[in-house]
Structure 1
Amino acid sequence: MDFIPLRIHLSNFLNDLSSQTVNLDGTSLSLSSLVAVARHKATTTIIESTRQNVQASRDVLLEKLEADISIYGVSTGFGGSASTRTRDHLGLGLALFQMQHCGVIPTASDHLTFMSMPESWVRAAILVRINSLVRGHSGVRWELPVALQQLLTENIIPLVPLRGSISASGDLSPLSYVAGSIMGNPSIKVYDTCSQTGQRVLVSSPVALANHNILPLVIQAKEHLGLLNGTAFSAAVASLALYDTVQLAFLTQVCTAMATEALLGSRGSFLPFVNDVARPHPGQIDVARTILALLTDSQLARTPQCDTRVQEDKGTLKQDRYALRTSPQFIGPQIEDIHSALMTVTNAMEKTRLALHHLGKILFAQATEMMNPDTNKGLPPSLAATDPSLNFHCKGVEISLAAYISELGFLANPVSTHIQSAEMHNQAIKSDPIINFTALDLRALQYNLVEGFRDIIEGATARYFWTKEPLSPVEYRRCERSKLTLTESGIGTGKGAESRDSDLISPHERGPRFAPDIPCASLVIPGTTERLQERRLQEGETGKEAFRSPQTPALAFFEEQISDVNVNVESNNISDLSDSTLSDDEYLASSRSSVTSMESITGDVLSAPDDTLIRELKTIFIETFWSNTTMDAEEQVRTAVDSVVNRLLREAFQNSDSFDFSVLRTVLPEYRASLEKDCLNLVRRERKHFLTSPMGELPTPALLGLGSRRIYTFVRKELGIRMHGVENLVLFEGGLNSQGPTTGESISLIYGVRNFLVKRIHVLT
């Protein structure tokens, strides 16, 4: 993929525009140079050596005219009127301009945006036309490309109608407005910079030329056709669109990597055997390598494991769904088409539009999979961070995405099937590329997804840490700031960070793997039963009474066991990374510190071996809790607690000779109520923590791959866009949007700085 060279070339201009120049010699104009001039006003220079070719071409024309040779467009009419003849070459040129100045430009300024081309398009078209003229093929004077260059240098940009060109022999009408500008036509308006306010203002072309001491150019024979008879606008806008498409294609791969992390997907889909060996298509290979690189260091993406027995992975999703698993095969052909388009810009817009539609299609599939509680491995419906009865966060976003995809599908239809004969049936076949450009704005779709992806990964991170053993209702949130790093399969083994990745791919993994392991007390905490029994034996209790005695609640014992942890957590200093002065490396280091700081603290408390019943109770609670994400927290917790209690009752009946049911009837209601209350408090506290804590107290960046991390830190830290759900948490206290911007405003902010997102991640591959 040519993304990296393009981006580096453009960056060279952006780093120091004052010392960077685009040299125009007719042969070496690059895509990134065009972008630098069109969007960043890079300086241009016409190479002096091209003057000889331009003059030679002009001399040939003058010789023909001197000999009274009939020349199309110089002594004849145009197109279907080419049977007419004239020796009034200048009058013929003015008649051509008069005929082409037919674009619709409303007088009301608020309509100009919808009816005229952006200045960047016009700057790019002027640049392309200069580059073509200096080749010496058009019979124009040297003064003509120089006059066009002055428009770029002084930033005098014509107001050009958006519609009206069919790009047959050229973009005639749009280029006629450029010609009218250098001629000083008073009816042609241009954008100029006001010397007093510094704002862009719309003035007539002679006024703008006078403001910059530029004399209007008198057009000579053949120069009218030399200006108009070229597809500068089509080539220019197509080039800008292709440059954006390259970036969007790369961002699609970044979003796919983020979706893989959010959905706890497998790296296996991107490994070399599948893509380099089994199906070695160039685009597929490139996409797989890019996504795999973006997943570097990710602790959420799973790594393929050795074979497992049928019973070991029963109930798990054996492979990722198509939106993730086949993404290299799906995105790869689009990359190949885009690469081909970069080589032949003028013929490529049909495939480019179709490629963009396909990129949008796979992103939509990934988004809907993440928003659907039936497919998102335990994420809440619509990515709602609070109770789903009063929070429908991404439901509106999903509807918007569907609208975008519908429009993309409509615009992806080939324009070539709608070509109409024009101009006295002289132009019966043409390309109409200008129409294609309206289909090239996938940004809103992609940055809608970025907003959703951030919340997904934030939630997945929360659930990743919630799988650790809880501490106490009082201290849980404080300990969560430091984030326990043991996974469920590692609990009770003392495993550290080095084994975390293998834990994540445990064959026992169920769909909603990363979920709060909220149940507490002796029934669900490894080793607590043994320690409780040991303590009671020391206090004089014996036998079965040590287990079933209601006088010493297990929760109190557990809270006592972690009292030392509470002290350590209190003294744990956590940096507030909302300070924008922190570098990305400092931000990541602090985040990783908060992730790992609790490992040594919890090792002693949680190191006792787990027993079969406790493991089963934990699994039951987790799976029940996260298979009911459509419920509000209170009902969700109650249902999960019920499942634990039911399993305990079954255990009691299976071992009826060992249980004192009279004591069980006394203990169980108290335990059930206490467990339900504590678990609900934990859920509410953790929600509040993630929704209201400073950036530095959340460990998300340390869990992400390189690509996701760059996006996440930029949006969260530098743009200051928080996780959605604070208003829902406080039940809209203070009114709608009193706690922050709308979802659309946040997405719009990301959209507004889209180029910076690309800049942040381009170095990764």
Structure 2
Amino acid sequence: MSLSHTRVTCSAVEKVEAYVHGAEPIVVDGSRLNLAAVVAVARYNSVPQLSDDEQVKTRVNRACSAVQDRISSGGSIYGVTTGVGASSFTRTNSVHELQDALATAYLNGILPTLSSAPSSASMRTVLDEDFMKGTVMVRLNSLIRGHSGVRWTVLEAMHKLLVHDIVPLASKNNTVSASGDLGTLAYIAGTLIGRPDLRVWYGQRSERSIRPAAEVLKEIQLEPLTYGPKEALAILNGTAASASAAALVLYDANILLLAAQGLTVMTIEALRSILEPFQPFPHVVARPHPGQIEVAANIARMTEGSKLALKEYPEGDPEFLLRQDRYHIRCAPQWFGPFAENLLRATESVTIELNSTTDNPIIDSDDQSPHNIYHAGNFQALTPAEAMDAVRHAILGIAKILYAQQSELLNPMLNRGLPPDCAAGEPSLDLGLKASDLCCSAYLSEIGYLSGSFLPHINSTEHHTQSINSMALASARHARDCVDLLRQIMATYLFTVCQAIDLREMNNRYLSKAKEVFQTKLPGILLCSEDTIMQDAVASLFTTIRVQFGRTASMESSSRFKAMLSPLIAELYTRTTRNSQIQLVTSTTPVHWVEMLEVKLRELFLQHRLEYFKETAGASDSLSRAGRLIYTFIRKDLEIPMKKGMNQMDKHEIGTYISIIFEALSDGRMDRVFTEAVGSADKL
């Protein structure tokens, strides 16, 4: 694989922006369609251009002529002069009537009826609008290749649907994706001939509504088509629905893998993890899998400039008795790497599918011999189905590692001094993010249930003619559900990790101030013969305070500081006993001095906490460039504050804030944040 997953994903996000803003045209010519173009058309209403290349038109016309020539010579063509599927033993000379029959025979999905307005219940059987709009785009791109025997006027009619943002309503559950997505594509074929029962989405986004297809065609002055030989079959027999859905889901999954790397960087910073595992040697030399190398390099680059992450193990620091970080940090390159490779392969595979001829029979329009029509099986959609299996597997893996990271951040026994459940208030009243952890557990369980392959569950159908089928569109729909569930985990975790980073920053600043107070107060209990001895005493004794501050994070402020400072009493006596150059002052006792210090440090903490609560994005300057980009987007762009957990200082519920983040993850606003965080493509 010559291209990295990161480069491909960053490039796709840039291309979507270029298409949407008109900086680059989307040309439908059968060979240049990509994931970004499908996204731009299906989600952002970019209007593609039909190719004006005469060679493209010539191939289209030659394919039509080949069909006519075979009919005139008396030869048989599947679906033109024969029946279809298990009925292909029949023969007919009524080629136009057969196409009309095909255009209606597969309109048997369950949809909202015309007798009532669509409801939330009735719309549950409808394929997502962006999936269906992308389907029109992908089918058009396939038919324009000149292998399908459709006239240019049919392509122009399909193109007009895209120009006017007309999207047929199609049933989502009625295709096995074997002889193509017959049950989905039939709604395009039926719309173009104005079938009276069919409906479409139509209108500007703010005024969009569902209306009868025939009525809308009349409004835009598009005459209903009369299909020529093979044209209805060419439209409804192909993998366009599966390929469209796969492209849209895969685009999202690729971005979420970058997002997961960004979240891992923020976790490293929140936990003050060690950067040693991301150095080149373990990956480039010792185990050179390309995905592993790529992710390790990404994380190493993304953590540059961090004041929280540790470049090397701090020998002797009692806060870091665990010599190496847990797997969900240390093994991130080895975990994400295979998913990067698999998603890159899936992207390459789906891109080929977008630019393929997938109906049957197909015509070699460059071959002028009588034997240029091939009866084959390009409609079998296992390629996008396998891509969606890879997506669901990757989504499950990403969700697993993020949940493990969140679990460490919320656990006071593991998170290196943060309070339980990242509660900023008093632990007895502030439950922190305890409930959010329960939500993520539910999301993860559902992803696990949805992540299995469809392959063990396929059934033979249509008199055993379609004896094997892919269920590719169903696989893509389930993959989209997994993407949405992962976004819910990510939205929750973004709130969590930003909270943890703020707590870490707040604590670090407090400890810096507390050290100054301690340094000024220590001469009130210790007398040292030399300044260096006093400096050593300050450093050593304050290390005890720092460690105890983290260990007492689960306690109320009213009792925490007594527990935090009580070990100092024994240390003061021990230090003066072992070192004759250090003496206790006689005007007070270590017990009384510690009690005085306890009051000072508690007051300082309570005041400092309230001051930090007033800040917006207070931790920005301590973060890496990548962490800062994501953190400031959450704190400033989305205006998601730190959860204070006290005195009714929180304006909204946690779920409200997480929902805002989820919307930003879903509507594309955070795509550029993650690609910029991982680094521009020209650095990769």
Asked if Structure 1 and Structure 2 have the same fold, meaning a TM-score greater than 0.5 normalized by the shorter chain, the answer is yes
User: Contact (CA 8 Å) 1:54, 1:139: kept in 2 or not?
Assistant: yes
Matched, 1:418 2:331: no
User: Contact (CA 8 Å) 2:270, 2:500: kept in 1 or not?
Assistant: yes
1:83 aligns to what? 89
1:638 aligns to what? 562
| TM-score scaled by length of structure 1 | 0.77
Matched, 1:464 2:464: no
Residue identity opposite 2:299 in structure 1: I
1:756 aligns to what? 669
Match of 2:248 among 229, 236, 240: 240
Which whole-Å CA distance do the structure 2 matches of 1:380 and 1:186 have between them?
63
Matched, 1:24 2:34: no
The superposition leaves residues 644-663 of structure 1 with CA deviations (integer Å, 9 ceiling, x where unpaired) of 23433555777999989995
Q: CA deviation at 1:313?
A: 6.8
User: Contact (CA 8 Å) 1:20, 1:43: kept in 2 or not?
Assistant: no
User: Contact (CA 8 Å) 2:111, 2:126: kept in 1 or not?
Assistant: yes
The superposition leaves residues 117-149 of structure 1 with CA deviations (integer Å, 9 ceiling, x where unpaired) of 222111111111011001111111111111111
Matched, 1:160 2:170: yes
> Identity of paired residues, percent?
30
Q: CA deviation at 1:294?
A: 0.9
The superposition leaves residues 194-250 of structure 1 with CA deviations (integer Å, 9 ceiling, x where unpaired) of 6xx951011000111122122111222211111100010000110111111111111
**What pairs with 1:135-534 in structure 2 (closer than 5 Å)?**
135-193=145-203, 198-304=206-312, 316-345=321-350, 346=384, 347-437=386-476, 438-440=478-480, 441=483, 442-470=486-514, 517=515, 520=518, 522-524=520-522
1:687 aligns to what? 609
Which whole-Å CA distance do the structure 2 matches of 1:105 and 1:22 have between them?
32
User: Contact (CA 8 Å) 2:276, 2:311: kept in 1 or not?
Assistant: yes
Q: CA deviation at 1:396?
A: 1.4
Q: CA deviation at 1:609?
A: 6.8
User: Contact (CA 8 Å) 1:123, 1:157: kept in 2 or not?
Assistant: yes
CA RMSD of aligned residues (A): 2.7
Q: CA deviation at 1:378?
A: 0.8
Match of 2:646 among 729, 746, 750: 729
Q: Mean alpha-carbon deviation: is it higher for 2-11 or for 368-377?
A: 2-11
User: Contact (CA 8 Å) 1:386, 1:687: kept in 2 or not?
Assistant: no
Residue identity opposite 2:670 in structure 1: L
Q: CA deviation at 1:7?
A: 2.0
The verdict on how the C-alpha distance between 1:529 and 1:389 changes in structure 2, with shifts beyond 3 A counting, is closer
Which whole-Å CA distance do the structure 2 matches of 1:248 and 1:381 have between them?
28
Higher relative contact order (CA 8 A, sep 6+): 2
1:583 aligns to what? none
The verdict on how the C-alpha distance between 1:660 and 1:450 changes in structure 2, with shifts beyond 3 A counting, is closer
Which whole-Å CA distance do the structure 2 matches of 1:58 and 1:312 have between them?
78
Residue identity opposite 1:91 in structure 2: E
The superposition leaves residues 377-418 of structure 1 with CA deviations (integer Å, 9 ceiling, x where unpaired) of 111111111112212222111111111221122212111111
Secondary structure of 1:520's aligned partner: helix
User: Contact (CA 8 Å) 2:524, 2:585: kept in 1 or not?
Assistant: no
Q: CA deviation at 1:98?
A: 2.9
2:652 aligns to what? 741
Secondary structure of 2:26's aligned partner: strand
User: Contact (CA 8 Å) 1:522, 1:529: kept in 2 or not?
Assistant: no
2:372 aligns to what? none
Secondary structure of 2:398's aligned partner: helix
User: Contact (CA 8 Å) 2:111, 2:123: kept in 1 or not?
Assistant: no
User: Contact (CA 8 Å) 2:643, 2:650: kept in 1 or not?
Assistant: no
Residue identity opposite 2:505 in structure 1: T
Q: CA deviation at 1:610?
A: 4.1
Which whole-Å CA distance do the structure 1 matches of 2:582 and 2:322 have between them?
39
The superposition leaves residues 49-90 of structure 1 with CA deviations (integer Å, 9 ceiling, x where unpaired) of 211111111111112222333221122222122222332223
Match of 1:58 among 64, 88, 94: 64
Secondary structure of 1:344's aligned partner: helix
Gaps of 5+ in 2: 351-383
Secondary structure of 2:444's aligned partner: helix
Residue identity opposite 1:456 in structure 2: A
User: Contact (CA 8 Å) 1:21, 1:42: kept in 2 or not?
Assistant: no
- Count of matched residue positions in the alignment of Structure 1 and Structure 2: 624
Residue identity opposite 1:635 in structure 2: S
Which whole-Å CA distance do the structure 2 matches of 1:518 and 1:684 have between them?
16
The verdict on how the C-alpha distance between 1:313 and 1:278 changes in structure 2, with shifts beyond 3 A counting, is farther
The verdict on how the C-alpha distance between 1:416 and 1:117 changes in structure 2, with shifts beyond 3 A counting, is same
Which whole-Å CA distance do the structure 1 matches of 2:134 and 2:584 have between them?
86
Gaps of 5+ in 1: 471-516, 535-542, 544-606, 733-737
Secondary structure of 2:307's aligned partner: coil
**What pairs with 1:702-717 in structure 2 (closer than 5 Å)?**
702-717=621-636
Which whole-Å CA distance do the structure 2 matches of 1:391 and 1:115 have between them?
43
Residue identity opposite 1:641 in structure 2: L
Which whole-Å CA distance do the structure 2 matches of 1:312 and 1:138 have between them?
71
Residue identity opposite 1:28 in structure 2: R
Residue identity opposite 1:747 in structure 2: I
Which whole-Å CA distance do the structure 1 matches of 2:400 and 2:251 have between them?
20
Matched, 1:701 2:620: yes
Matched, 1:93 2:99: yes
The superposition leaves residues 695-720 of structure 1 with CA deviations (integer Å, 9 ceiling, x where unpaired) of 5xx2x111111111111111111111
Secondary structure of 2:549's aligned partner: helix
Residue identity opposite 2:128 in structure 1: P
**What pairs with 1:610-621 in structure 2 (closer than 5 Å)?**
610-621=534-545
The superposition leaves residues 429-452 of structure 1 with CA deviations (integer Å, 9 ceiling, x where unpaired) of 111122222234122222221111
Q: Mean alpha-carbon deviation: is it higher for 220-229 or for 92-101?
A: 92-101
Q: Mean alpha-carbon deviation: is it higher for 91-100 or for 391-400?
A: 91-100
User: Contact (CA 8 Å) 1:20, 1:42: kept in 2 or not?
Assistant: no
Which whole-Å CA distance do the structure 1 matches of 2:585 and 2:631 have between them?
54
Which whole-Å CA distance do the structure 2 matches of 1:293 and 1:655 have between them?
47
Which whole-Å CA distance do the structure 1 matches of 2:138 and 2:552 have between them?
59
Secondary structure of 1:422's aligned partner: coil
User: Contact (CA 8 Å) 1:383, 1:394: kept in 2 or not?
Assistant: yes
Larger Rg: 1
User: Contact (CA 8 Å) 1:411, 1:436: kept in 2 or not?
Assistant: no
The verdict on how the C-alpha distance between 1:618 and 1:229 changes in structure 2, with shifts beyond 3 A counting, is same
Residue identity opposite 1:701 in structure 2: S
Q: CA deviation at 1:611?
A: 3.7
Which whole-Å CA distance do the structure 1 matches of 2:655 and 2:318 have between them?
41
Which whole-Å CA distance do the structure 2 matches of 1:326 and 1:660 have between them?
49
The superposition leaves residues 509-556 of structure 1 with CA deviations (integer Å, 9 ceiling, x where unpaired) of xxxxxxxx59737554xx7778xx79xxxxxxxx9xxxxxxxxxxxxx
Match of 2:132 among 122, 139, 154: 122
The superposition leaves residues 574-631 of structure 1 with CA deviations (integer Å, 9 ceiling, x where unpaired) of xxxxxxxxxxxxxxxxxxxxxxxxxxxxxxxxx9874444333312222222112222
The verdict on how the C-alpha distance between 1:608 and 1:435 changes in structure 2, with shifts beyond 3 A counting, is farther
